[in-house]
């Protein structure tokens, strides 16, 4: 049996003596301690940050003779104890890990374990076990232990903002719900995430669950943010004039409003005046506006990672208004106890403007494979736009009405495609823009065919739907 305090030892010794000898005078003359006593404690530590140097200190007080010191790292909920340091007095005289000094009749020791660069995997409980020889008999060992939980924090290692459900079309006829997603990875504990617009903190309505569809955002408050979709007379006439041009020979108008409001280049420009310096975003749309500030909804989830950190996904949802949201700066900011200042990631909502088109080869010949590629824009576009290719007045070479993607490939072009014009519509939820390019096919000397103007030149034409 072992005792941890003087009082326990005193009490047991006197009671045992009286019970055995029934001689109080004899018991009073006995030494005060029959067995050694031992107290053990580990100095508490505040949370530490990954990469810090950490020293665990185990203090113990005894009047006995040292037998052993063992440090354990406890894992798997206490089922596994991994030995990380051992001192055995029987086989070692190395006291480099201990400091001792005489205090009355007691000995006070301190055993330390140093972790030079703490990692997330070092997070968890630690135990210090100490054993001393029993003063009554060298065959017994008095044992005691202390424990501590090492809380290791990790600041987030990455933060990014993306738009949900992109690439997505633009509609000038219907208000669209929009979602920004902020992804923060590598933090422990989970960080606090919030959004700002143009540097101002956004007031949000928390959601316990994300809405399952677009209608989920349209509660009583949100619905009051939309005016009746009354059409402005000037804008209506302009739209009708464009539809009239389409009906007179351009691409037929369809129910898809963001693909059918572009005039045929052949009707508007002569070959000598086909170059327009840039494509701009039309401000004719949309036909609805917000009458108050938008209502923002907020939802976040925590996803545990195998290394003990957490990934946080925070979603900001509202009804988009291209008039006020185009070129608005949104930032996701993160606060964490391991960070001295907040992390942040910024995005600016921007509609596409001035697409840059490249055609290869630059001098296409009959039988060549022609690639027409959107290389970029005159501005930084966010969210990612979607691209739709059509051939003005006809179907594409493969017979399809349209092609989705940044690149249009025309395989083994025939001479009949000479002079054909291709339209690329780039759009994101904030707006859309059209770009046209004309294909000039040169004669291929290796393929016998009819006469053709060999002095023709490849040309690009940029045009915008007004």
Give bridge partners of residue 348 from the DSSP assignment: 329
- Together in a domain, 373 and 404: yes
Task: Assign 465 a pLDDT band (cuts: 50, 70, 90).
Answer: very low
What is the percent of the chain where pLDDT is above 70? 66
Task: Assign 76 a pLDDT band (cuts: 50, 70, 90).
Answer: confident
Q: Which of 90, 118, 153 is the last residue of a domain?
A: 153
Does a structural domain hold residue 414? yes
- Together in a domain, 37 and 129: yes
Residue of higher predicted confidence among 308 and 253: 308
Please give the Cα distance from 113 to 148 (Å, whole number).
Answer: 12
377 is written with which tokens? 């824009």
Reply yes or no on whether the pLDDT at 265 is more than 90: no
pLDDT at site 261 = 30
- Together in a domain, 45 and 90: yes
Give bridge partners of residue 148 from the DSSP assignment: 126
Q: Which range is least confidently modeled, 11-15, 79-83, 144-148?
A: 11-15
Closest Cα partner for 357 from 378, 383, 380? 378
Residue of higher predicted confidence among 73 and 78: 73
Average pLDDT over all residues of the chain: 75
411 is written with which tokens? 């395989």
In this predicted model, what pLDDT tens digit does every residue of 137-146 receive, in sequence order? 667 888 899 9
In this predicted model, what pLDDT tens digit does every residue of 412-448 receive, in sequence order? 999 999 999 999 999 999 999 999 999 999 987 776 6
pLDDT at site 140 = 81
pLDDT at site 192 = 97
Does a structural domain hold residue 237? no
- Together in a domain, 262 and 170: no
Q: Which of 121, 153, 185 is the last residue of a domain?
A: 153
| 458: Cα within 13 Å, side-chain hemisphere | 15
For residues 5 and 61, the answer to whether their CB atoms sit within 8 Å is: no
Residue of higher predicted confidence among 227 and 7: 7
pLDDT at site 464 = 33
141 is written with which tokens? 């060992």
Give bridge partners of residue 318 from the DSSP assignment: 178
Closest Cα partner for 375 from 326, 420, 424, 422? 424
Reply yes or no on whether the pLDDT at 458 is more than 90: no
Does a structural domain hold residue 167? yes
In this predicted model, what pLDDT tens digit does every residue of 328-376 receive, in sequence order? 999 999 999 999 999 999 999 999 998 999 999 989 999 999 999 999 9
Reply yes or no on whether the pLDDT at 449 is more than 70: no
For residues 242 and 250, the answer to whether their CB atoms sit within 8 Å is: no
Does a structural domain hold residue 466? no
Does a structural domain hold residue 1? no
Please give the Cα distance from 97 to 112 (Å, whole number).
Answer: 6
Task: Assign 62 a pLDDT band (cuts: 50, 70, 90).
Answer: confident
Does a structural domain hold residue 188? yes
Reply yes or no on whether the pLDDT at 205 is more than 90: yes
Q: Which of 119, 153, 187 is the last residue of a domain?
A: 153
Domain CATH for 70: 2.60.40.10
- Together in a domain, 315 and 277: no
Does a structural domain hold residue 202? yes
Q: Which range is least confidently modeled, 115-129, 364-378, 451-465?
A: 451-465
pLDDT at site 448 = 63
Reply yes or no on whether the pLDDT at 13 is more than 90: no
Please give the Cα distance from 411 to 419 (Å, whole number).
Answer: 16
Q: Is the pTM of this model over 0.85?
A: no
Does a structural domain hold residue 235? no
- Asked if omega into 166 is within 30° of 0 (cis), the reply is no
Burial 28-62 (b: 16+ CB within 10 A, else e): eeeeebbbbbbbbbbeeeeebbbeeebebbbbbbb
Task: Assign 208 a pLDDT band (cuts: 50, 70, 90).
Answer: confident
How, if at all, do strands 124-133 and 141-150 pair? antiparallel
- Together in a domain, 69 and 88: yes
pLDDT at site 346 = 97
Q: Which range is least confidently modeled, 23-32, 285-294, 445-454?
A: 23-32
Q: How many domains does the chain have?
A: 3
Closest Cα partner for 363 from 441, 431, 297? 441
Reply yes or no on whether the pLDDT at 14 is more than 60: no
Q: Looking at residues 260-278, what average pLDDT do you find?
A: 35
- Together in a domain, 120 and 36: yes
Reply yes or no on whether the pLDDT at 236 is more than 80: no
Q: Which range is least confidently modeled, 130-134, 339-343, 402-406, 436-440?
A: 130-134
pLDDT at site 66 = 83
Please give the Cα distance from 32 to 365 (Å, whole number).
Answer: 110
- Together in a domain, 441 and 325: no
Reply yes or no on whether the pLDDT at 106 is more than 90: no
pLDDT at site 225 = 35
Dmax over Cα atoms in the chain, in whole Å? 136
3-state secondary structure the chain: CCCCCHHHHHHHHHHHHHHHHCCHHHHHCCCCCCCCCEEEEECCCCCEECCCCEEEEEEEEECCEEEEEEEEEEEHHHCEEEEEEEEECCCCCCCCCEEEEEECCEEEEEEEEEECCCCHHHCEEEEEEEEEECCCCCCCEEEEEEEEEECEEECCCEEEEEECCCCCCCCCCCCEEEEEEEEEEEEECCCEEEEEECCEECCEEECCCCCCCHHHHCCHHHHCCECCCCCCHHHHHHHHHHHHHHHCCCCCCCCCCCCCCCCCHHHHCCHHHCCCCCCCCCCCCCCCCECCCCCEEEEEEEEECCCCCEEEEEEEEEEECHHHHCCCEEEEEEECCCCCCCEEEEEECECCCCCEEEEECCCEECCCCEEEEEEECCCCCECCCEEEEEECCECCCCCCCCEECCEEEECCCCHHHCCCEEEEEEEECCEEEEEEEECCEECCCCCCCCCCCCCCCCEEECCCCC
Task: Assign 55 a pLDDT band (cuts: 50, 70, 90).
Answer: very high
For residues 361 and 390, the answer to whether their CB atoms sit within 8 Å is: no
Residue of higher predicted confidence among 172 and 69: 69
For residues 112 and 57, the answer to whether their CB atoms sit within 8 Å is: yes
- Together in a domain, 162 and 274: no
Q: Looking at residues 194-208, what average pLDDT do you find?
A: 95
pLDDT at site 454 = 38
Range of the domain at 200: 158-228+288-348
- Together in a domain, 57 and 169: no
∠ CA 144-145-146, nearest 5°, is 145
- Together in a domain, 175 and 315: yes
Q: Looking at residues 6-12, what average pLDDT do you find?
A: 45
Q: Looking at residues 240-251, what average pLDDT do you find?
A: 36
- Together in a domain, 77 and 167: no
Reply yes or no on whether the pLDDT at 157 is more than 60: yes
Task: Assign 75 a pLDDT band (cuts: 50, 70, 90).
Answer: confident
**Which residues, in sequence order, are CB contacts of 248 under 8 Å at separation 6+?**
267
Task: Assign 293 a pLDDT band (cuts: 50, 70, 90).
Answer: confident
For residues 186 and 298, the answer to whether their CB atoms sit within 8 Å is: no
């Amino acid at each position: 049996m072992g005792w941890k305090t003087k009082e326990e030892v005193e009490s047991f010794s006197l009671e045992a003596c009286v019970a055995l000898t029934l001689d109080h005078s004899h018991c009073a003359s006995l030494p005060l301690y029959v067995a050694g006593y031992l107290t053990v404690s580990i100095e508490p530590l505040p949370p530490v940050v990954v990469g810090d140097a950490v020293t665990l200190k185990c203090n113990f007080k005894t009047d006995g003779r040292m037998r052993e010191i063992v440090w354990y790292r406890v894992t798997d909920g206490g089922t596994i104890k991994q030995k990380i340091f051992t001192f055995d007095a029987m086989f070692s005289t190395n006291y480099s890990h201990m400091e001792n000094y005489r205090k009355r009749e007691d000995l006070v020791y301190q055993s330390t374990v140093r972790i030079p660069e703490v990692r997330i995997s070092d997070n968890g409980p630690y135990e210090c076990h100490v054993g001393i020889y029993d003063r009554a008999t060298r065959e017994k060992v008095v044992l005691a232990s202390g424990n501590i939980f090492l809380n290791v924090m990790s600041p987030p290692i990455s933060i990014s903002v993306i738009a949900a459900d992109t690439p997505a079309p633009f509609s000038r006829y219907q208000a669209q719900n929009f979602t920004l997603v902020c992804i923060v990875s590598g933090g422990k504990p989970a960080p606090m995430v919030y959004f700002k617009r143009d540097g101002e903190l956004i007031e949000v309505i928390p959601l316990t669950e994300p809405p399952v569809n677009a209608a989920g955002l349209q509660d009583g408050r949100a619905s009051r943010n939309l005016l009746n979709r009354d059409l402005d007379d000037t804008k209506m006439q302009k739209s009708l004039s464009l539809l009239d041009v389409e009906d007179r020979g351009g691409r037929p108008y369809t129910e898809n409003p963001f693909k059918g409001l572009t005039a045929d280049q052949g009707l508007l420009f002569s070959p000598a005046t086909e170059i327009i310096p840039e494509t701009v975003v039309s401000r004719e749309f949309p036909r609805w506006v917000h009458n108050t500030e938008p209502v923002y909804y907020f939802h976040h989830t925590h996803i545990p990672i195998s290394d003990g950190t957490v990934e946080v996904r925070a979603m900001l949802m509202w009804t988009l208004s291209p008039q006020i949201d185009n070129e608005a700066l949104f930032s996701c900011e993160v606060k964490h106890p391991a960070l001295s200042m907040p992390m942040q990631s910024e995005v600016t909502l921007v509609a596409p403007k001035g697409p840059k088109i490249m055609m290869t080869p630059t001098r296409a010949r009959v039988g060549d494979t022609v690639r027409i590629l959107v290389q970029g824009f005159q501005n930084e576009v966010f969210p990612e736009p979607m691209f739709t290719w059509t051939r003005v007045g006809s179907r594409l070479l493969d017979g399809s009405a349209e092609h989705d993607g940044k690149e249009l490939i025309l395989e083994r072009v025939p001479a009949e495609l000479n002079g054909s014009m291709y339209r690329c519509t780039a759009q994101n939820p904030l707006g859309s823009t059209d770009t046209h390019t004309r294909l000039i096919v040169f004669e291929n000397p290796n393929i016998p065919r009819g006469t053709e103007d060999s002095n023709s030149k490849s040309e690009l034409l940029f045009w915008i739907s007004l």
